[in-house]
Structure 1
Amino acid sequence: MQSSLNKLKIINDPVYGFVKIPFEFVYDVLQHRYFQRLRGIKQLGLTSLVYPGAMHNRFQHAVGAMHLMSSAILILREKGVIITEEESIAVHLAVLLHDIGHGPYSHVLENSIVQGISHEEISLLFMHQLNNQFDGKLDLAIEIFKNNYNKNFLHQLVSSQLDMDRLDYLRRDSFFTGVSEGVIGSDRIIKMLHVSNDNLVVESKGIYSIEKFLIARRLMYWQVYLHKTAVAAERMLVNVLRRAKFLMMNDTPLFATPALKYFLGNTITLDYFQQDNKALNAFSLLDDSDIMSAIKVWSDHDDFILSKLASSLLSRNLHKVIIQNEAFDTKSISNIRAEVKRKYKLDNSEVDYFVAVDNVESHTYNVNKDKIEILFSNGELKDISEASDILKLSVLGNNIKKKILCYPKDVFVINDNV
């Protein structure tokens, strides 16, 4: 039988240094194959094609968020906030498992080989499955995750506009990409946390750190998360999987690992997941390596569309990207589509695999959802958009939308000034 000392491991994290696993049961969950799968899923998907250092994974991020949760619980208890041992274990588990439902290359799977199901919904399904296996020990963690527990601030620590998830991924993604604009004072922010009226708030001394946090979030979205080259690569990967699914659903022989083949050969919806454990078990075997091994084989497939997209990804021959604020000229897009159709000898429906017109958007702060409130010494609470001298609601609450157009670089169009 394993002793408790053996379970209280120390993990050497490149961002925070030594991270302690705080509870024995947290170690048991962390060791489960469902969670270990996250080692094989990159945190930033194909962003490493832009920033070569961005090779970190979802496992590292989840452990980092758990570490920040330990710091937050300690600070809140020191300020007199009552958090029981059971609640502490549960909220650590909730943040540790918040991303367990992510598929290969993060959000790509949600848009291609599963239908109408988000990673949050799959995370909850995994949590219920783990709860069954661990005899109900995740009951409270699930209640906190779903925001059904009577202490709202615990859920806010897991999921809000100032949660441990965001504090970790901004700092971690900045570290691995080398984009210094994303560096935030997570330690300072956590030290300034408090609870008022069952809501997570920030003491007024931390207002400048919150301003920096929101500015960093805005900059990281456009420099990293929505970088136009990374967006183009993701669209190409989505179309590779769409084409593979189309071929397999039409009985075309196609290489894939058993888990990937299950999703390519079936229309998997949320109902499917809920009614058949086979879907969740197959999903638990998927990671980035399933996709990349398939792409390597597909690059030599007889189907032109599949092989062209797969080989282009492998050689980083990514599509040309144009991003702008206004809508694209329809005539120019028609010219591009016509040239792609002619050059690649495609029909109209097949052109969509190579020409993508889409929207990307970034919303720095939502004043109507889990506000970030600043607590002043006289007990007054103000929303950050009111308390800040430099971050006004007209800036913070502005949902920035841009138009993006992707198409192959080897397609020459006389006038692509769209």
Structure 2
Amino acid sequence: MKSRNKLKIVNDPVYGFITIPNKLISDLIEHPYFQRLRRISQMGMSYLVYPGAHHTRFHHALGAMFLMRKAVQVLRYKGIEISEKEEEALCIAILLHDIGHGPFSHAMENSIVENVNHEQISLLFMEELNKNFNNRLTLAITIFKDEYDRKFLHQLISSQLDMDRLDYLRRDSFYTGVSEGAVNSERLIAMLNVKNDKLVVEEKGIYSVEKFIIARRLMYWQVYLHKTSLVAEQLLLRMLKRAKELTDNGVELPASKALLFFLKHSITHKTFTKDVLDTFSKLDDYDIVSAMKSWVEEEDFVLKTLAKMILNRDLLKIKMKKKPVTSEKIQKKIQQTMQRYNLSEDEANYFVFTGSIENQAYRMDKETINLLTKSGKVRDVAKASDQVNLKALSEKVIKYYLCYPKRNN
């Protein structure tokens, strides 16, 4: 493919102008694999709750790369040696870290692809691009996989305080209008340092870290785990599962060629070949929306009803509980649904189901966010903080939900 290499500056609504650092990164952005991210929503079904949440994985990837370059600049200023090749590799790794997301970000990996998550698919894309670009992505992949000898570089890409989280919290806050998630990414990056090959935050940045952790917790409850978004995503997953079930039984459903491939084939990580990857790269949100608009005309009650619910935002009732829902209550809702719509129990299970969500804003058991004191000591932020609730935020909170048709009240 002939490279156009015209994209030099992007005007981002969050950070202003983002400069593309070099030709290799510009060519990667121009590649169809990456351009597809323009058609993958960053927040799945959240636009049904927050109408402004129509930003894409493309926005997020560029924003995370912008923050990565800022972080490298700060660390170099503080005497941390980062070579030009390492900087380029960091920019490539963070740029491509989400390239494996499917339609509506998480819908594919939980429905019609078996036991394959977006991180694994991202790595497959990166390895394929590495072949296309004469192995110039090798260092980026090594850092991405945490196989490079300088461990703090991987932490910039994936840790409890990485450029991924710093961008998506601020960006998602901006597009949803939920101001509680507006973290001060510039301040946090300005406080970064490295001690014993580990990423640390200077002690005077403790309050910014506290706000970051609290913002993350609030964004999860208020946005990412919002009950309406939750039930909409569950309906989307069930719609795709029903479509696959019908296809397996010989029903010919209208869908794009790429979507039909995944409906007709059982794809696992072992069978995710180059050809499968190329087909996956042709899938985006529009394939699903287009299919939904056709499926509302199908004979199958389950499929057409699920599609209508999503398109018209006429969703199931969802109730949140502190304790698991009893099997008796679930069975009662299933029986009511079976009788009302003349369904089998298997069909009713598409409309009545339970599950759980969890929120853990900070983990003390896993690669903690560490503060560097003036005396040179390194301490876990939760232990150094005078905010009692930081330790509380490290506790996992689990909530349970029950979904069922509204008319079954």
Range class of TM-score, shorter chain:
over 0.9
1:296 aligned residue: 293
1:326 aligned residue: 323
- Mapped to 1, the partners of 2:142 and 2:313 lie a distance apart of 44
Alignment partner of 1:347 is 2:334: no
1:66 aligned residue: 65
How much has 1:284 moved relative to structure 2?
0.3
- Mapped to 1, the partners of 2:153 and 2:112 lie a distance apart of 34
How much has 1:331 moved relative to structure 2?
2.2
- Mapped to 2, the partners of 1:126 and 1:362 lie a distance apart of 30
How much has 1:7 moved relative to structure 2?
5.3
Alignment partner of 1:111 is 2:101: no
- For 2:399, which of 396, 399, 402 is the aligned residue? 402
In structure 2, what residue type is equivalent to 1:217? Answer: R
Is the partner of 1:194 in helix, strand or coil?
A: strand
| Structure 2 unmatched runs, 5+ | none
How much has 1:394 moved relative to structure 2?
3.8
Q: Tell me, yes or no, if the aligned pair for 1:299 and 1:308 is still in contact at 8 Å.
A: yes
Q: Tell me, yes or no, if the aligned pair for 1:43 and 1:55 is still in contact at 8 Å.
A: yes
Structure 1 residue runs of 4 or more that deviate by more than 4 Å after TM superposition: none
User: Percent same amino acid among aligned pairs?
Assistant: 52
How much has 1:145 moved relative to structure 2?
0.2
2:304 aligned residue: 307
In structure 1, what residue type is equivalent to 2:203? Answer: S
Matched ranges for 1:4-403 at <5 A: 9-273=8-272, 276-391=273-388, 394-403=391-400
How much has 1:8 moved relative to structure 2?
6.7
How much has 1:351 moved relative to structure 2?
1.4
How much has 1:329 moved relative to structure 2?
3.1
How much has 1:392 moved relative to structure 2?
5.1
Aligned pair count reads 409
How much has 1:330 moved relative to structure 2?
2.8
- Mapped to 2, the partners of 1:8 and 1:153 lie a distance apart of 30
How much has 1:124 moved relative to structure 2?
0.2
In structure 1, what residue type is equivalent to 2:322? Answer: N
- Mapped to 2, the partners of 1:280 and 1:351 lie a distance apart of 34
- Mapped to 2, the partners of 1:211 and 1:264 lie a distance apart of 45
CA deviations on 1:202-244 (whole Å, 9 max, x unpaired) are 0011100000000000000000000000000000011100000
| Structure 1 unmatched runs, 5+ | 414-418
CA distance 1:28–1:401, shift in 2 (3 Å): same
Q: Tell me, yes or no, if the aligned pair for 1:257 and 1:290 is still in contact at 8 Å.
A: yes
Q: Tell me, yes or no, if the aligned pair for 1:386 and 1:392 is still in contact at 8 Å.
A: no
Q: Tell me, yes or no, if the aligned pair for 2:111 and 2:241 is still in contact at 8 Å.
A: yes
- Mapped to 2, the partners of 1:314 and 1:127 lie a distance apart of 34
CA deviations on 1:251-301 (whole Å, 9 max, x unpaired) are 10101100000000011000011xx21110110000000000000000110
How much has 1:328 moved relative to structure 2?
1.7
TM-score by length of structure 2 reads 0.98
Q: Tell me, yes or no, if the aligned pair for 1:42 and 1:58 is still in contact at 8 Å.
A: yes
Is the partner of 2:45 in helix, strand or coil?
A: helix
CA distance 1:100–1:391, shift in 2 (3 Å): farther
TM-score by length of structure 1 reads 0.96
How much has 1:44 moved relative to structure 2?
0.3
Is the partner of 2:270 in helix, strand or coil?
A: helix
Q: Tell me, yes or no, if the aligned pair for 1:43 and 1:58 is still in contact at 8 Å.
A: yes
How much has 1:393 moved relative to structure 2?
5.8
Q: Tell me, yes or no, if the aligned pair for 1:8 and 1:22 is still in contact at 8 Å.
A: no
